[in-house]
Amino acid sequence: MAKQLNLFFPQWQGSGPDLSVYHGALELKQFFKDKLNFTEVAVSTNPITATEDNIYGYSNIIHQMKEARSIIDHTAPGSIFTLGGGCDAGILPLSYLNKLCRGDLAVVWFDAHGDLNSPQTSPSKFFYGMPVRTLLGDNNSSILNLCYKNLNRQQLALCGLRELDPAEQEYIEKEDLKVITVSAMANNPARPAEILAGSRFKNLYIHLDLDVIDPEEFPNSPVPEPNGLSTKTLKEALAILVKSYNLVGFGLFEYSPSGKKPATFLEEVINIGSRLNSPTNI
């Protein structure tokens, strides 16, 4: 099996005109350059001027996703750690690993937001509100054709959600998605591992959007939401997940620059991402 790909994909256009996640990703890359060698997806910093196909910055996003797909295809990695800008930068790595694992992949998605809008339901038309819905197979054909393999809802656990659009709440109820609240995780950090245990998946992908953490403790995310996870609970949950499953993918997203050394727990997260495994039984 091919080696791990460390993918640096500072895509920001999904966040609208705000480049903070681009600069935040650059800052993290600079701090951890001695720990990880990254393969970089070239990302335009030109101003966005148009919404096409109900997605703001669509042409840039499509172009950058094509480049990311080309890198993944050429590398054919056995595992992927993604350091991204907006959380939409995690779509292709996760989709690729789902195909590589032949669907034997549990996905734990830590995020304050649902990321469950479609281009039609999104009030903002910002792509960073669409990645989970895209991974479940609902977006326009140009984007879906770049993806490798759709998730099914049994693979997915959404953790720490607390800010949802009405259409996202309706979609959760319609599709019967697994949602683990902040309070449920605070009471039992093992809950994400437990809720997926009955599905008997062997491999795991972790998506970590940093706005899942309470902004009183961690303010460096571009769209902070109150009443989030503590870093203590998050670290405990991550440790249990890594022990319970074969971790093949990890994505770290939505960091705003601070101009100083990142919080200690981010180094612990990077350490997890730097030591991924190839899938089992393929």
Distance of CA 233 to the CA centre of its chain: 19
What is the signed CA dihedral for 72, 204, 189, 159, rounded to 10 degrees?
60
| 3-state SS assignment for residue 172 | helix
pTM above 0.85, yes or no: yes
Q: What angle do CA 183, 186, 189 make, to 5 degrees?
A: 125
The Cα 122–Cα 129 span in angstroms is 7
What is the signed CA dihedral for 199, 244, 179, 94, rounded to 10 degrees?
-80
Give Cβ neighbours of residue 35 (< 8 Å, ≥ 6 apart): 270, 271, 274
* Domain range 4-273, CATH class: alpha beta
**Mind listing the pLDDT tens digit of every residue in the chain (282 residues)?**
579 999 999 999 999 999 999 999 999 999 998 889 999 999 999 999 899 999 999 999 999 999 999 999 999 999 999 999 999 999 999 999 999 999 999 999 999 999 999 999 999 999 999 999 999 999 999 999 999 999 999 999 999 999 999 999 999 999 999 999 999 999 999 999 999 988 889 999 999 999 999 999 999 999 999 999 999 999 999 999 999 999 999 999 999 999 888 889 999 999 999 999 999 866
Beta strands 105-110; 178-180: pairing state = unpaired
| SS3 labels along 56-116 | ECHHHHHHHHHHHHHHHHHHCCCEEEEEECCHHHHHHHHHHHHHHCCCCEEEEEECCECCC
Q: For the chain, what is the total number of helices (H) and then of strands (E)?
A: 10, 10
| Cα dist from 26 to 62, 221, 222, whole Å | 21, 14, 15
